[in-house]
Amino acid sequence: MADSAIATPHPADNAEHVLSARVDKAALIEKLTAELPAETVLHAHEDLTPFECDGLAAYRQVPMIAILPDSIEQVQTALRICHANDVPVVARGAGTGLSGGALPLDNGVLLSLAKFKKIVDIDPQNRRATVQPGVRNLAISEAVDHLGLYYAPDPSSQIACSIGGNVAENSGGVHCLKYGLTTHNILQIEIVTIEGERLTIGSHALDTPGYDLLALMTGSEGLLGVIVEVVVKLLPKPELARVAMVAFDDVRKAGNAVAAIIQAGIVPAGLEMLDSPAIIATEEFVHAGYPTDAAAILLCEVDGTEAEVEEHIADVREVMEREGAVDIRISRDAAERALFWAGRKAAFPAMGRISPDYYCMDGTIPRKALADVLIGISELSEKYGQCVANVFHAGDGNLHPLILYDANKEGELEATEAFGGAICELCLEHGGTITGEHGVGMEKIDQMCVQFPEPELIQFHAVKAAFDAKSLLNPGKAVPTLHRCAEFGAMHVHNGDLPFPDLERL
Amino acid sequence: MADSAIATPHPADNAEHVLSARVDKAALIEKLTAELPAETVLHAHEDLTPFECDGLAAYRQVPMIAILPDSIEQVQTALRICHANDVPVVARGAGTGLSGGALPLDNGVLLSLAKFKKIVDIDPQNRRATVQPGVRNLAISEAVDHLGLYYAPDPSSQIACSIGGNVAENSGGVHCLKYGLTTHNILQIEIVTIEGERLTIGSHALDTPGYDLLALMTGSEGLLGVIVEVVVKLLPKPELARVAMVAFDDVRKAGNAVAAIIQAGIVPAGLEMLDSPAIIATEEFVHAGYPTDAAAILLCEVDGTEAEVEEHIADVREVMEREGAVDIRISRDAAERALFWAGRKAAFPAMGRISPDYYCMDGTIPRKALADVLIGISELSEKYGQCVANVFHAGDGNLHPLILYDANKEGELEATEAFGGAICELCLEHGGTITGEHGVGMEKIDQMCVQFPEPELIQFHAVKAAFDAKSLLNPGKAVPTLHRCAEFGAMHVHNGDLPFPDLERL
């Protein structure tokens, strides 16, 4: 931590050496297959292409080798061999991540947890379940449904994404406003370190003495260890849930209504916003009954007992009317509630129908800045000449602007990335962060240099070194090297302003 | 992490060298007063005695020097000088901690944050407040009361304890069952590292990219850095709260009722238990209307809107009746609610009236083990021949057995400590942890050797080294050195059983 000079290589820049190191593929295969079943070690090109990208498909790279262990002991063996041979390792769950966190390395091993699909234990009395990391998010709730329980965090990809990846990314979802992120809904994990050591982190009890390594591991994007088992908390299913679909003729009014709802002391189970482009595309696709002439709609769900829901729905109606809503519809039954949500959940695929490609951003801002930031994004959209649709977790201030583009048109991807970068910095200017729930991965690595000053980055690297001194786990992701930030800064610094000449202060 | 041999000194044992190092007091005073105002550096014995203990008064030690800075810059200067001179530092908030976390060192500096008493900013729209670490817990809620807001975590000492100490210990309280611990109620902190560097950790937004250092710092008991500013979340005050006082003629029934309430999907704002000795002592002191012939009472609070409270109170009544309650009284108004709680809040001082001394334990167990552990404690009480009263956060499974003793009687303190240790191990046997919210400090340091295997302890030390390589911050607390665990184990291991010959498995 003491040395803040970045002219000479810093220990915090280990990842760069790892990324450029040469590895003898044949020798490594021999070492791996000597200790692991041959069928778990894949190295032919055609076997490796399924792993070439995750949900951020704009980045692709075939790994040198893929390993598919089916026991914790095999994970330990694989990591021990990689560590001994200085081979970088990228762990992969379901591959649904949106920031490229599971992008392989051409000189590295891709460690897939796909075979870890077992629900190990369900304990309704203590409301917890022990599951392997490859278990799908939704499969947990399905497995405990008959007990009247569910697992709360519900990323849009919950039908496909796996719990190990949820922990690695600290995933959220529509209902995390009331029920918290992944970090608030897990009790204990088993991890294997890069040295092959198995550690139990957290406990079955409320709080655990010692440093909170459970929270530290959660959202660490595969850089500190490989998750091989997860104990999740289960919640009782609410007796009733109703959703209000509220239309506004002005984005600013909708943004202000979000802040007003929260300020009124209502804690909705979910509070989502769609702007006009998102409403139109979604309605054409799903026919959820959204008013296509609205500038924005809010979906505000309230859950609990029947009495509680009725009272809160009345409060929601009152606040929305006061904030200038032009139309308020309350779901009359479970079917209508599902229909209202169907639009929101299909919003991303709906965009895919009207644009060849889209790029999903993930900035988080304080709620009171919502209106200003939405207007700022719209101004940036005009400036960059690219369309943007907004569909997001408004109650959390977690934006998901979707920039529409065509990757086949020369320069459009680059322009989109620049526009996306400008949105990130706009969030930072309003006291926000560059990512809410999708992680930094490859995608936001440069923006990390903007969000964090050097002392904080050095502290991140010191923590990394406490788990993985050689920087072999997922190098090049999540936390930028100081060298990368220095280069990035050198390219962009301009008149001492934010290092983004393209961004005018709004 | 690789080296797990403990025959030779391990880097993880740095703290032992620091604790035994000699420091030139006069030279250090000269260096400190050269850069800090003379009145902030205390070194006369009479000025130092106020710092000789915290809430765990059985342990006392006057520090070599005490420093009372009144600005972050002065904290940076003090820590920089201590770091350069290899002087250990113990930070202290209000000194109300119950595990000896702020116990000074005779060769070290006591750094008091007592002058950091300012509420820096209140932001009702985003429901947060920025406060200095010396601000009292209750003072935050008082400052925002006119806005209809409050700060949720409410340790029993909330009138005196300060927010910096709450963060360092990850404090809970009666209402943390519904509203979470300190770690769930803060957004951002400013810390100063042992090297004097100032870091901003967390952000004003929902989630922050990079490793979750905010959760890591929370509950780290002053071993990773000194907290100099805290941004807390504020919650809207609930419209109504009512408390049910429920009596049982059998401790086992009361324990089972706790599990049943949670399993029924009710999330009480607080769910506390008092057993017979606690009821009798408290009732004599406060006259809260507790039934003195009950084997145990539960206090179950429900809050929310009026409709919500009525419905949940009816649910609570139904479950309690089914579980065999012999008496159920619901608070009729705010005055009666306050009276019911007054007993609980005065339970500790009430014990002070019937016993010269008491020793408060803090184990946490899964809720379904409550009845078994309470009966186990009662059996241990007979075995050790010492009285114990239980008053605790039942809904969280967070026990606070109070062992009654007389420190002036030869051997009673030692017997009490042995009894307390046996209670800790009983909690561990039932899948619990050795501390819920009071921290490890000095008090539980040996039990940490029982809870954590060596690989986990080594990982803790690696994380510590990432912040404080010289082990100068609060050495000897919270995480035991491997050497200490080895010695402790060597003294206690017996037939390969748990290393506590006094504890029979229950």
What is the set of domains in chain A, with CATH numbers? Answer: 14-112 (3.30.43.10), 119-236 (3.30.465.10), 240-350 (3.30.70.2190)
Find, in chain A, the residue whose alpha carbon is nearest to that of B216: A212
Find, in chain B, the residue whose alpha carbon is nearest to that of A432: B205
Average per-residue pLDDT for chain A: 89
Alpha helices (H) along B36-71: 45-48
Beta-carbon contacts of B128 under 8 Å, excluding residues fewer than 6 positions away, are B187, B204, B231, B232, B233, B234
B44 touching A, CB under 8 A?
A: no
B70 touching A, CB under 8 A?
A: no
Cβ atoms A431, B205 nearer than 8 A: yes
CB contact under 8 A, B210 and A462: no
Provide φ and ψ at A67, rounded to 5°. Answer: -120, 130
| A157 has a pLDDT exceeding 70 | yes
Which has more confidence, B193 or B445? B193
Alpha helices (H) along B173-305: 176-179, 213-217, 251-263, 276-286
Look at residue A489 in the predicted model and tell me its pLDDT.
Answer: 63
Determine the Cα–Cα distance for residues B9 and A55; give it in Å rounded to an integer: 47
Distance from CA of A225 to the nearest CA of B (A): 12
Of A181, A201, A455, the CB nearest to B199: A455
| A231 has a pLDDT exceeding 70 | yes
Summarize pLDDT for B8-59 with one digit per residue, the tens. 345 567 888 899 888 899 999 999 999 999 999 999 999 999 999 998 888 9
Look at residue B495 in the predicted model and tell me its pLDDT.
Answer: 30
The 3-state DSSP composition of chain B as helix, strand, coil percent (nearest 5) reads 40, 20, 40
A2 touching B, CB under 8 A?
A: yes
Measured between beta carbons, the chain B residues lying within 8 angstroms of A220 are 211-212
DSSP per-residue letters across B366-393:
-GGGHHHHHHHHHHHHHHHT--EEEEEB
| B146 has a pLDDT exceeding 50 | yes
Confidence of residue A340 (pLDDT cuts 50, 70, 90): very high
ipTM of the shown complex: 0.83
Helix (H) or strand (E) holding A487: helix A482-492
| Strands B109-112 and B89-92, sheet pairing | parallel
Task: Express as a percent the part of chain A with pLDDT over 90.
Answer: 66
B448 touching A, CB under 8 A?
A: yes
CB contact under 8 A, A215 and B183: yes
Which of B440, B456, B362, B367 minimizes the C-alpha distance to A205?
B367
Cβ atoms B168, B214 nearer than 8 A: no
Determine the Cα–Cα distance for residues B185 and B152; give it in Å rounded to an integer: 7
Residue with tokens 């250990």, as numbered in its chain: B88
Distance from CA of B191 to the nearest CA of A (A): 11
Determine the Cα–Cα distance for residues A269 and B177; give it in Å rounded to an integer: 19
> Strand, coil or helix: what is A464?
helix
Summarize pLDDT for A289-317 with one digit per residue, the tens. 999 999 999 999 999 888 889 989 999 99
Look at residue B417 in the predicted model and tell me its pLDDT.
Answer: 87
Look at residue B3 in the predicted model and tell me its pLDDT.
Answer: 40
| A9 has a pLDDT exceeding 80 | no
Determine the Cα–Cα distance for residues B441 and B461; give it in Å rounded to an integer: 15
C-alpha count within 13 angstroms, C-beta hemisphere, residue B163:
33
Determine the Cα–Cα distance for residues B341 and B59; give it in Å rounded to an integer: 31
A99 touching B, CB under 8 A?
A: no
Determine the Cα–Cα distance for residues A161 and A137; give it in Å rounded to an integer: 6
Look at residue B504 in the predicted model and tell me its pLDDT.
Answer: 29
Residue with tokens 């002053």, as numbered in its chain: B222
| B387 has a pLDDT exceeding 60 | yes
CB contact under 8 A, B219 and A199: no
Beta-carbon contacts of B2 under 8 Å, excluding residues fewer than 6 positions away, are A195
**B388-416 mean pLDDT:** 90
CB pairs under 8 A between A and B: 234
Summarize pLDDT for B196-216 with one digit per residue, the tens. 999 999 988 777 889 999 999
B136 touching A, CB under 8 A?
A: no
Where in A397-505 does DSSP place strands (E)?
Answer: 401-405
B47, two tokens: 């000025």
Which of A296, A386, A315, A389 minimizes the C-alpha distance to A351?
A389
Confidence of residue B6 (pLDDT cuts 50, 70, 90): very low
CB contact under 8 A, A478 and B197: no
Confidence of residue B505 (pLDDT cuts 50, 70, 90): very low
Provide φ and ψ at A274, rounded to 5°. Answer: -125, 135
Which of A182, A191, A190, A197 minimizes the C-alpha distance to A226?
A191
**Which of the listed ranges A52-61, B459-468, B477-486 does the model predict with the highest average pLDDT?**
B459-468
B365 touching A, CB under 8 A?
A: yes
Summarize pLDDT for B232-262 with one digit per residue, the tens. 999 999 989 999 999 999 999 999 999 899 8
**B374-398 mean pLDDT:** 92
Look at residue A11 in the predicted model and tell me its pLDDT.
Answer: 59
CB contact under 8 A, B206 and A398: yes
Measured between beta carbons, the chain A residues lying within 8 angstroms of B450 are none
Angle at A297 between CA A291 and CA A298, to 5 degrees: 140
Look at residue B264 in the predicted model and tell me its pLDDT.
Answer: 83
B442 touching A, CB under 8 A?
A: no
CB contact under 8 A, A466 and B459: yes
Measured between beta carbons, the chain A residues lying within 8 angstroms of B212 are 170, 183, 215-216, 218-220
Q: How is residue A415 annotated by DSSP?
A: H
Determine the Cα–Cα distance for residues B179 and B185; give it in Å rounded to an integer: 8
**A453-473 mean pLDDT:** 95
B49 touching A, CB under 8 A?
A: no
Summarize pLDDT for B422-444 with one digit per residue, the tens. 998 898 888 888 877 788 999 88
Determine the Cα–Cα distance for residues B130 and B125; give it in Å rounded to an integer: 13
First to last CA, chain A: 35
Find, in chain A, the residue whose alpha carbon is nearest to that of B447: A209
A167 to A88, A137, A219, B180: CA distances (angstroms)? 21, 11, 6, 20
**B169-182 mean pLDDT:** 90
| B149 has a pLDDT exceeding 90 | yes
Look at residue B125 in the predicted model and tell me its pLDDT.
Answer: 82
- Scored b (16 or more CB within 10 A) or e, A477-501 reads bbbbbbbbbbebeeebeeeeebbbe
Look at residue A28 in the predicted model and tell me its pLDDT.
Answer: 98
CB contact under 8 A, B184 and A184: yes
Beta-carbon contacts of B428 under 8 Å, excluding residues fewer than 6 positions away, are B434, B447, B450, B451
Distance from CA of A223 to the nearest CA of B (A): 9
Confidence of residue A503 (pLDDT cuts 50, 70, 90): very low
Measured between beta carbons, the chain A residues lying within 8 angstroms of B215 are 183, 212, 215-216
Summarize pLDDT for A400-442 with one digit per residue, the tens. 999 999 888 998 888 998 998 899 889 888 888 887 778 899 9
CB neighbourhood size of A133 (10 A):
27
Look at residue A5 in the predicted model and tell me its pLDDT.
Answer: 35
- Scored b (16 or more CB within 10 A) or e, B12-49 reads bbbbbebbeeebeeeebbebbeeebeeebbbbeeeebe
Summarize pLDDT for A354-380 with one digit per residue, the tens. 888 888 888 888 888 899 999 999 999
Determine the Cα–Cα distance for residues B430 and B418; give it in Å rounded to an integer: 19
Beta-carbon contacts of A378 under 8 Å, excluding residues fewer than 6 positions away, are A251, A388
B305 touching A, CB under 8 A?
A: yes
> Strand, coil or helix: what is A186?
strand
Which of B127, B183, B131, B191 minimizes the C-alpha distance to B162?
B131
A224 to A41, A230, A466, B185, B223: CA distances (angstroms)? 23, 16, 9, 26, 21
Confidence of residue A486 (pLDDT cuts 50, 70, 90): confident
Measured between beta carbons, the chain B residues lying within 8 angstroms of A218 are 212
Look at residue B22 in the predicted model and tell me its pLDDT.
Answer: 86
- Scored b (16 or more CB within 10 A) or e, B113-122 reads bbebeebeeb
A452 to A116, A390, A440, A465, B100: CA distances (angstroms)? 36, 26, 13, 18, 35
Determine the Cα–Cα distance for residues B284 and A63; give it in Å rounded to an integer: 73
Find, in chain B, the residue whose alpha carbon is nearest to that of A366: B205
A42 touching B, CB under 8 A?
A: no
Look at residue B353 in the predicted model and tell me its pLDDT.
Answer: 87
A372 touching B, CB under 8 A?
A: no
A83 touching B, CB under 8 A?
A: no
Summarize pLDDT for A238-280 with one digit per residue, the tens. 989 999 999 999 999 999 999 899 888 788 999 999 999 999 9
Find, in chain B, the residue whose alpha carbon is nearest to that of A170: B207
| B5 has a pLDDT exceeding 70 | no
> Strand, coil or helix: what is B127?
coil
Alpha helices (H) along A240-333: 251-263, 276-286, 306-322
